[in-house]
Amino acid sequence: MTEGLTADGAANGSWNMTDFVSPETMVQMIPSGIKLGLAPDGAGSCPAMIRLLIERGIRDLHVVCTPIGGMQIDMLIGAGAVAVLETSAISLGETGGAPCFARAIRNGELRMLDGTCPAVFAGLTAAAKGVPFMPIRGIIGSDLLKNRPDWKVTANPFDESEKIVVVSAIQPDISLIHAPEADRFGNVRLGRRREIMLLAHASKKTFVTVERISETSLLDDEKLAAGVLPAMYVSAVAEYRNAAWPTGLYTEYDLDAREVENYARAARSPEGFRAYMTGTRSAA
Amino acid sequence: MTEGLTADGAANGSWNMTDFVSPETMVQMIPSGIKLGLAPDGAGSCPAMIRLLIERGIRDLHVVCTPIGGMQIDMLIGAGAVAVLETSAISLGETGGAPCFARAIRNGELRMLDGTCPAVFAGLTAAAKGVPFMPIRGIIGSDLLKNRPDWKVTANPFDESEKIVVVSAIQPDISLIHAPEADRFGNVRLGRRREIMLLAHASKKTFVTVERISETSLLDDEKLAAGVLPAMYVSAVAEYRNAAWPTGLYTEYDLDAREVENYARAARSPEGFRAYMTGTRSAA
Amino acid sequence: MMLECTNRELLIYTISRLLAGARHVAVGMSSPMPAAGAMLRRALNKKQGREDVQVSILGSIRHNSFTGGSEELFECAAQGRIDAFFLGGGQIDGKGNVNLVGAGGYPNSEVRWPGSYGSAYLYFLVPRVILFREEHSPRVLVDQVDFISAPGVSEKGVYRRGGPHALLTSAALFSFQRDVGRFRLESVHPGRSAHEIREMTGFSFDNDGCEVQTPGPDAATLALMRNQIRTELAETYPQFAASLPEAA
Amino acid sequence: MMLECTNRELLIYTISRLLAGARHVAVGMSSPMPAAGAMLRRALNKKQGREDVQVSILGSIRHNSFTGGSEELFECAAQGRIDAFFLGGGQIDGKGNVNLVGAGGYPNSEVRWPGSYGSAYLYFLVPRVILFREEHSPRVLVDQVDFISAPGVSEKGVYRRGGPHALLTSAALFSFQRDVGRFRLESVHPGRSAHEIREMTGFSFDNDGCEVQTPGPDAATLALMRNQIRTELAETYPQFAASLPEAA
């Protein structure tokens, strides 16, 4: 082949086949300082991996919640690993407020990018569609706008009398999620948790821990296919049973409310949080 | 309840529970002059209903293809029912060009809104998300732009040096699709044909013919759920077996290539087209 | 005929009245009272042969027919397929602004709440947003919120087809008058007076001498609540359902 | 060693060479030769222990791992997850512009083709777009297209990370030089001369005296094509596969 036909257009390296690794190896593949996409509690959250990341001493994360966060985000904040937090809300659900989050806000320990759920989705959608921004209705008149340099009020190009917000694309460097199942080819079953599909499409890389690995292709079952994240979006898979404990996993196991309450009680103080993190392991 | 609490915010009537009707009744529910959303051949096309619409004498349609069209669109054009055609392409696939379409273009018998696949999707996405427009990369420098008053070149609000196209929302009044299965509650199984899901979300109303009706809810099977269009988007369902013949239905039955070839040969002339339409019924 | 009912039953019944005519009611997570009110509306309509009511309870699998992830609620609202929704808020002010973010400065709020969730969007797009907060105090119902998560009214040029419809607390029911951007006291719950409501409210409102008492459910409705609704609710909110009175 | 192979086999082999280094190749509907070339690339890489190649054939269920409907190809391309794609065209001009719409006026074209499909988008976003058209004539390879479905090059200020990489016909192989926006003749297929190519081409191009002959497959590669690739192809394109030579 002559030079003219090899010089340009080479694969850009952003895309690879899926690696199968251990949870410990996966943790080593997530560096400090990145934009990290995470799932809401109970729908893809992975507190077990968050613990491993904290033990490894991960720092300076820009965390993107899809579109809200729970216990696993509060743990990362408590460990001082979060520099920037982009979310519509953080809470422990029925249990109440997220204690480390509230403390970090009060003490000014993180940069807060407060959003609203559909604006987070709009930002992720922009990344997934490869456009720099997305328009979204609402928001105008909200104080959220004042603190978001990545949002702007513009005119609707087809009706200049309408003001409308545009939000910038949100592209996580890595997203880390937990799912019920992957197959040996790297396809991952998400079911109707389509927001996790969106997160993976929007992210440069997606790392997935799963309850189990199927030896047959999930795409061979036409019933399942619509809820399967194809392997091309999945950089690595690790089998890690019960890794969503105590936050629960959609269609697999429920929230362990008592354990989340234990956490909430302990994390009221920095000392209590540290004691909880060193004292508790997992239900597995 | 006092007046202040009943005067505003009443349901706007655009949304209803699903009606179960006969194909003949469904045809009566689709008036002339509307913006009609249709599926590509083999992925939700419904030539049997198109025939009924033509027999009823439907006229002045603005047809939106998702994002391309085939034999059923060519039939509508041949019958003189299409005033405006919005699509990325019309063809009979392996069989070749769409004869009535080419003739209508040559004779200036319809207004053509030539698009490109992702721009059709962007327009439908805008409607589904309730925004007036969506940005899309590419297109600039294409002659498509010259003929689309509903597309504009603007500046990226976050980087004024980048020119970018915005396309207006596409909201069909009614979309008409064929699917493998609906349940008694109005939920429809689409599987991984997510573009049909998008079409339904974008449309004011969606009418669905199906091969069969399930007595149990499709949403009860978590495996299926991700590929199910919920009843809230489905205005009416009619059981109509084999209604996709001869264009085929994804995961159900293949294209009848010989019949499409018969059609293509006949439709080379207006007379041949008319003879075909009156002479052929269906394989059922 | 007026019956003895608990305050919570009165609120659930009042929510059902506020939902009259709605065909699709969405209820956020951790909102048992709005969920109960929506279920009651659905049951009452069925009994009365009126239109079907769809109730989508976020976070529930059974009472939630969305198949497109948590994004679908917002798209559905934007498409005009949701008639009513509920919002709470750490603070609600007299202009209908809600604050779900925090009190005492921003971003380093002294008291920080979870965040705005979908409020900054749904408040614009859902025709009938019912503000629901049991606590009726000057701490919650303030003259001006510390942070506007979502504004009660919008200027011209901003697309808005939704907004506050009513404000319901454990003590009173207000309507929101969109033309003037103010609340109007519609009724006072049994055991309260308009004077008390004025004292308990941090903002001024119209009709502040209101003498209408919030009506409670009739016997048949109360029985429905204590049987069917209680059972339906238990699927999603077992603890809350157990706390409601049971039919004798 | 050069072997006897058919023109189609030469084209399939050449496509596989043009795909060297690509890790995800998308092939449009009704494109058996590009599909065969991509499958050959995948098989050659496997044999040589090189990187895995994913081939996504639109319209196929088996060779298509997309689960998000036909929209996903375009999103995937925008995300940088597709390295190579193929475009044809009723007309292709010397600046790399392609016309899939029609000839002789617009909108009422005398000859109307199906339409632009995804060309106006993918041409900007897929790094390596291979223009493939078997017919090599002044009718197809024109000086200037009648309608630009997608432009070969873009001005500054237009986001563009993709575009034409090569133009392959039944008679010759051209590269596209993005810096000057012109084709360069890279090789002439066996049995043709540069002079003939000039006669058969409606636009001017660089290196128009090119004496390089397009290389054919070696024995092992040809055997691979006539066995494994032919079989793989038959799943999606049975008629086309049957038309290719079979291993002895």
Q: What is the mean pLDDT of residues B9-36?
A: 80
- The reply to whether residue C20 touches residue B1, judged by beta carbons under 8 angstroms, is yes
**A146-189 pLDDT, tens per residue?**
999 999 999 999 999 999 999 999 999 999 999 999 999 999 99
C74 φ/ψ angles, rounded to the nearest 5 degrees: -70, -40
**Can you name the residues that pair with C145 across neighbouring β-strands?**
none
pLDDT of A1 reads 43
Partner-chain contact A128 D65, CB within 8 Å: no
Contact residues, chain C, for A91 at CB < 8 Å: 114-115
C164-168 sheet: strands from edge to edge: C54-57, C24-27, C84-87, C128-132, C164-168, C172-177, C182-188
Which residues of chain C are under the pLDDT cut of 70?
1-3, 248
The pLDDT score that the predictor gives to residue B16 is: 53
CB contact under 8 A, B157 and A158: no
**pLDDT tens digit string along C204-224?**
999 999 999 999 999 999 999
The answer to whether residue A3 scores a pLDDT higher than 90 is no
Interface of D with B in 72-101 (CB under 8 A): 72, 74, 78, 100-101
Q: Which of A156, A124, A117 is nearest to A139 (CA)?
A: A117
Domains in chain C with CATH codes: 7-88+118-135+161-243 (3.40.1080.10)
Q: CB–CB of A132/B162 below 8 Å?
A: yes
> In Å, how far is D197's CA from the nearest CA of chain A?
19
| Global pTM exceeds 0.90 | yes
d(CA C162, CA C126) in angstroms, rounded, equals 5
The beta strand positions in C152-240, using DSSP E, are 164-168, 172-177, 182-188
Q: How far apart are the C-alpha atoms of B202 and B233, rounded to whole Å?
A: 9
| Residue from the list B122, B132, B251 with its beta carbon closest to the beta carbon of A156 | B132
Burial call A41-73: b when 16+ CB within 10 Å, e when fewer? bbbbbbbbbbbbbbeeebeebbbbbbbbbbbbb
CB distance C120–A108 less than 8 Å? no
pLDDT of residue B11: 37
Q: How far apart are CA A81 and CA A34, in angstroms?
A: 11
Per-residue pLDDT for B241 more than 60? yes
Q: Could you tell me the pLDDT band of residue A79, with boundaries at 50, 70 and 90?
A: very high
CB contact under 8 A, A158 and B150: yes
pLDDT greater at residue D152 or residue B12:
D152
Q: B232 and C54 in contact by Cβ < 8 A?
A: yes
CA distance A58 to A227: 32
Report the pLDDT value the prediction gives residue C157, as an integer from 0 to 100.
96
Q: Return the SS3 of D224.
A: helix
User: For residue range A84-128, what is the model confidence (pLDDT) as tens digits?
Assistant: 999 999 999 889 999 999 999 999 999 999 999 999 999 999 999
- The total of other beta-carbon atoms located within 10 Å of residue B111's CB is 13
From B231, which residue of chain C is nearest by alpha-carbon distance?
C65
At residue A281, the pLDDT reads 60
Question: How many Å apart are CA C109 and CA A103, to the nearest integer?
Answer: 10
Residue A15: predicted pLDDT: 44
How far A225 CA lies from chain B's nearest CA (Å)? 6
CA of A95: which chain C residue's CA is closest? C30
pLDDT in the model for residue C235: 82
Report ipTM (2 d.p.): 0.96
Residue in D with minimal Cα distance to A187: D65
Phi (first) and psi of residue B275, to 5 degrees: -65, -40
pLDDT for position C239: 85
**Confidence (pLDDT) at D3:** 59
Which residue of A lies nearest to C154 if distances are taken between CA atoms? A141
Confidence of residue D63 (pLDDT cuts 50, 70, 90): confident
Q: CB–CB of C115/A68 below 8 Å?
A: yes
Shortest CB distance from B135 goes to which of A133, A190, A194?
A133
What proportion of chain B, given as a percentage, has pLDDT over 90? Answer: 88
Give A168's contacts in chain B (Cβ within 8 Å).
Answer: 158
Whether A251 and A220 have beta carbons less than 8 Å apart is answered as no
- Over residues D38-45, the mean pLDDT reads 97
Q: pLDDT digits over B113-132, tens only?
A: 999 999 999 999 999 999 99
Question: d(Cα C174, Cα C204) in Å, to the nearest integer?
Answer: 12
> Is the CB of residue D20 less than 8 Å from the CB of residue D13?
no
Are B117 and D150 in contact (CB < 8 Å)?
Answer: no
D187 contact residues in A (CB cutoff 8 A) = 2
| Chains A and D in direct contact, meaning 3 or more beta-carbon pairs closer than 8 angstroms | yes
Neighbour subunits, D (≥3 Cβ pairs < 8 A): A, B
CA distance D40 to D181: 30
Q: Which residues of B touch D108 (CB under 8 A)?
A: 105-108
Q: Are A93 and C30 inside 8 Å of each other by CB?
A: yes
What percentage of chain D reaches a pLDDT higher than 90? 86
Residue D235 has pLDDT above 70, yes or no: yes
Tokens of C218: 């009739």
Do B197 and C68 make contact, defined as CB atoms within 8 angstroms?
Answer: yes
Contacts of residue C84 in chain B, CB cutoff 8 Å? 9
Average pLDDT value for chain B: 93
Closest-CA distance of chain A to residue C164, Å:
14
Residues in B whose CB is inside 8 Å of some CB of C read 1-2, 4-6, 8-12, 14-17, 127-131, 187, 197, 201, 219, 225-233
In angstroms, the separation between the Cα of residue B261 and the nearest Cα of chain C is 39
The predicted-structure confidence for A147-156, as pLDDT tens digits, reads as follows: 999 999 999 9
Contact B226 A158 (CB under 8 A): no
Nearest beta carbon to residue C120 from set A98, A105, A142: A142
Mean of pLDDT values over A35-39: 98
pLDDT band at D247 (very low <50, low <70, confident <90, very high): confident
Q: Do D127 and A10 touch (CB under 8 A)?
A: yes
Mean pLDDT of A193-215: 97
Please judge whether A157 and B152 are an interchain contact, meaning their C-beta atoms are less than 8 angstroms apart. yes
DSSP-assigned states of every residue in D106-169: SSS-SEE-S--TTHHHHHHH-SEEEEE-S--STTTEESS-SS-SB-SS--TTB--S--EEEEE-
A and C adjacent (3 or more CB pairs under 8 angstroms): yes
Q: Which residue of C has its CA nearest to B225?
A: C67
Nearest CA in chain B to C81: B15
Q: Are strands A61-65 and A82-87 parallel, antiparallel or unpaired?
A: parallel
Please tell me the predicted confidence (pLDDT) of residue B94: 85
Shortest distance between the Cα of D107 and any Cα of chain B, in A, equals 7
The residue type of D126 is V
CA A98/CA C241 separation, integer angstroms: 26
DSSP bridge pairs for D91: D99
**Which residues of C are less than 8 Å from A87 in CB distance?**
115
Helix or strand run (H / E) with residue A68: strand A68-69
Q: How far is CA C83 from CA A53, B50, C19, C96, C122, in A?
A: 44, 34, 9, 19, 11
A106 CB-near residues (< 8 Å, 6+ apart) = C108, C109, C110, C112
Average pLDDT over residues B220-231: 92
Token representation of residue B115 = 């698009």
